[in-house]
Structure 1
Amino acid sequence: RDEQLEAELFGEDNHVHTGINFDKYDSIKVSVKGKDIKPISMFDEANLHPAMKENVRLARYKVPTPVQKHSIPIITDGNDLMACAQTGSGKTAAFLIPILSNLFGKAKKLAAPRPPPGTRRYKAEPLVLILAPTRELATQIFDECRRFTYRSMMRPCVVYGGADVIPQKNELAKGCDVLTATPDILDDGTRQTLMFSATFPKSIRNLARDFLANNYIFLTVGRVGGTTSDITQKIMYVENHKKRDQLVALLLKQPPSRTLVFVETKRGADSLDDFLYSQNFPTTSIHGDRTQQEREDALLSFKNGRCPILIATSVAARGLDIKNVMHVINYDLCEDIDEYVHRIGRTARVGNQGLATTFYNDNNSGIARDLVKILIEFKQGVPDFLQE
């Protein structure tokens, strides 16, 4: 047992407290299409490897969320799975726990041999490949892999573009059993394929079938593409030339808290960052043209509270799970309702409550109908300008 590493992996900085609405998760409708597999109600029912049981305990996971209750036995049974569940509902743990638990105790037999000390060239042969759309999400999943492989023989690694290749190669050369990566061309092998997202547009579901077994299971928790009632959604009519003034007014009005501001373009992120900084707001920004080090520094400043206002483009912030984001502001409203769901889902994680404020004007009329549907479904107020 490594007490220092244990504190690093499972300490308070890496723990997200469940919110007051966590118990409401069990009231969410769940649909399972395909093989009928009994869900678990507690982690003790999942037949987890003893080391995984201990890691789940160290992570302070008390009760599985709905997506975990269904996904863990489905994956343990060896099925392909497409799972759609709302943001902040525990999807990462839903696939990591059963995958890794199944391999604990088998790693010595299945894993590639570790290279002798001092060996420079050695081929990594991972047993598990996890693909994520962004570098930040890949790193976030890798951190979870480190937690759940604690005190096991399995070694996780992460690779992505935009960073120095040599250190990544050196890490792979030490051996890799669980590889988290951004996409590239892959060789097929004997595999179990699992897909998890908060949204699955029909076009993506159709495409995904090319990569899943014919008898794959489709799991939905809530409505496909739905959000969560833990988020209070407010839509404000704001003309483009008044957005900056309205944003400043919002930031001055709210108590100090982590706030994520979404803009449409990289140039817009830089420009708004400069403007807010000139107004003495502690801001930082993140987008695809930043170097990996700049992106990591910006996220660290946001997480540790040095810069509690983060300006981001949609792609850069996709899937990020950051503690205590209390307010999401759609400064530039996106054109796609699924993107809207992903954006506002950065707040109100794991049963906590959050606020999402959206600036809307006539340029956003293309998303109005879908926006009204989301607001009505989750019992949010629909302003008159949208009803018209």
Structure 2
Amino acid sequence: SGKTAAFLLPMLHYILENDIESHSYEDVAQPAGLILAPTRELAIQIYTEARKFSLGTVVKNACIYGGVGTNYQLRNMKERGCHIMAATPGKLLFLIGLGKISLKCLKFLVFDEADRMLDMGFIDDMEKLVANPDIPPKGERQTMMFSATFPEDVQRCALRFMDNYLFLVAGQVGAANKDVHQTIIEVAKHMKREKLVEYLRNFGDKEKVLVFVEMKRQADFVGSYISDNGFRSATLHGGRFQEQREEALSAFRSSQFKVLVATSVAARGLDIRGVGYVINYDLPKTAD
């Protein structure tokens, strides 16, 4: 859809046009652009896209998320500097608390998948961020919120975080994509695994299949079952180590594995080419 480019390109233009410092070899990182994402995988994807867009320029990008060594991330930021930062809320606030990241030079603040962030309980972290004493007032920074839905919680956040904001809609809010054919299959609970394997056989191996489950343990259980039935699959959920999560997503993107069994960690924002089928193994709890 070009959403990532919509917030990255203005940042890059501002940084290059105004010759903004990267603050390399300083003890405190001072990004000009900050993008908050609800999951590590989305933060990494945004960081990767930022590197592509800024290739051949002086713009330095950083990615901050949990599950990896803090010293390693801090060392990279100090040596390279940082103009644009993609981060998950918890790790970002932790490093701000340590005095390793300052928001005083911030000109662009982006909340990507804002409704998902609220669903995952990040509202307090979002509030702490915009209440940080170093952050410029909302009238002196550009704040953007991207959301697949626009519930009341997101509207209230927009009023508090943004200055006289403009509401833009692509398509119809909350409507299903007309290009996607959707089917509901009624099946007995004890027959779900067999029915899933039956559909995987009918699909063939030309296109990738993304299977969503509700629980972490269910992801491992279903992944093992379909692997035992001859389908190379990977699992992705919050209970796996960060390295395992990155390997699983990379293997699925590269078609090393044709099936990915995931929890809601992979439900929003990830750009994965060649996915022909999405299966909700467990009935989603909400329409969104």
The 1-side partners of 2:24 and 2:265 are apart by 36
SS of match in other structure, 2:238: coil
Larger relative CO (CA 8 A, sep 6+): 1 or 2?
Answer: 1
**Within-5 A mapping of 1:345-364:** none
Quick one: which amino acid aligns to residue 161 of structure 1? G
Q: Which residue of 2 aligns with 1:313?
A: 263
Alpha-carbon contact 2:23-2:82 (below 8 Å) kept: no
Could you list the runs of 5+ residues in structure 1 that have no partner in the other structure? 1-88, 116-120, 339-388
The 2-side partners of 1:132 and 1:113 are apart by 23
SS of match in other structure, 1:98: helix
| TM-score, structure 2 normalization | 0.80
User: Does residue 261 in structure 1 map to residue 211 in structure 2?
Assistant: yes
Offset of 1:92 from its aligned partner? Answer: 1.0
User: Does residue 181 in structure 1 map to residue 113 in structure 2?
Assistant: no
Offset of 1:226 from its aligned partner? Answer: 2.2
The 2-side partners of 1:221 and 1:319 are apart by 15
Residue in structure 1 matching 2:188, options 227, 239, 245: 239
Q: Deviations over 1:201-237 (max 9, x none)?
A: 2222223321111x11000111112232111111111
The 1-side partners of 2:208 and 2:149 are apart by 25
The 2-side partners of 1:323 and 1:264 are apart by 23
Please report the RMSD computed on the Cα atoms of aligned residues, expressed in angstroms.
1.4
The 2-side partners of 1:225 and 1:320 are apart by 18
The 2-side partners of 1:101 and 1:315 are apart by 32
User: Does residue 324 in structure 1 map to residue 274 in structure 2?
Assistant: yes
The 2-side partners of 1:226 and 1:91 are apart by 18
Quick one: which amino acid aligns to residue 255 of structure 1? G
SS of match in other structure, 2:174: coil
Offset of 1:255 from its aligned partner? Answer: 2.2
Instruction: Say how many residue pairs are matched.
Output: 242
Residue in structure 1 matching 2:141, options 186, 191, 198: 191
Offset of 1:112 from its aligned partner? Answer: 4.4
The 1-side partners of 2:159 and 2:286 are apart by 23
Alpha-carbon contact 1:258-1:327 (below 8 Å) kept: yes
Alpha-carbon contact 2:47-2:62 (below 8 Å) kept: yes
Q: Which residue of 1 aligns with 2:57?
A: 152
The 1-side partners of 2:144 and 2:190 are apart by 45
The 1-side partners of 2:252 and 2:2 are apart by 22
The 2-side partners of 1:261 and 1:310 are apart by 6
Offset of 1:284 from its aligned partner? Answer: 0.7
Q: Which residue of 2 aligns with 1:303?
A: 253
Q: Which residue of 1 aligns with 2:233?
A: 283
SS of match in other structure, 1:246: helix
The 2-side partners of 1:225 and 1:171 are apart by 40
Alpha-carbon contact 1:158-1:181 (below 8 Å) kept: yes
The 2-side partners of 1:200 and 1:147 are apart by 30
Quick one: which amino acid aligns to residue 219 of structure 1? L
SS of match in other structure, 1:337: coil
User: Does residue 272 in structure 1 map to residue 241 in structure 2?
Assistant: no
**Within-5 A mapping of 1:41-190:** 89-107=1-19, 110-115=20-25, 122-174=27-79, 175-184=81-90, 185=93, 186=129, 187=132, 188-189=135-136, 190=140
Alpha-carbon contact 1:111-1:126 (below 8 Å) kept: no
Offset of 1:239 from its aligned partner? Answer: 2.1
Alpha-carbon contact 1:283-1:309 (below 8 Å) kept: yes
Alpha-carbon contact 2:47-2:63 (below 8 Å) kept: yes
Alpha-carbon contact 1:137-1:320 (below 8 Å) kept: yes
Alpha-carbon contact 1:285-1:310 (below 8 Å) kept: yes
Alpha-carbon contact 2:208-2:274 (below 8 Å) kept: yes
Alpha-carbon contact 2:22-2:60 (below 8 Å) kept: no
SS of match in other structure, 2:161: coil
Q: Which residue of 2 aligns with 1:50?
A: none
Quick one: which amino acid aligns to residue 180 of structure 1? A
SS of match in other structure, 1:310: strand
SS of match in other structure, 2:262: strand
Runs of 4+ in 1 over 3 A off after TM superposition: none
Q: Which residue of 1 aligns with 2:171?
A: 222
The 2-side partners of 1:100 and 1:278 are apart by 48
Q: Which residue of 1 aligns with 2:155?
A: 205
SS of match in other structure, 1:209: helix
Alpha-carbon contact 1:130-1:180 (below 8 Å) kept: yes
Alpha-carbon contact 1:288-1:316 (below 8 Å) kept: no
Q: Deviations over 1:274-310 (max 9, x none)?
A: 1111112101100001111000110111111111100
Structure having the higher Rg: 1
Q: Which residue of 1 aligns with 2:119?
A: none
Structure 1 window deviating more from structure 2 (146-155 vs 283-292): it is: 146-155
Quick one: which amino acid aligns to residue 134 of structure 1? T
Q: Which residue of 1 aligns with 2:107?
A: none
Alpha-carbon contact 1:259-1:326 (below 8 Å) kept: yes
Q: Which residue of 1 aligns with 2:197?
A: 248
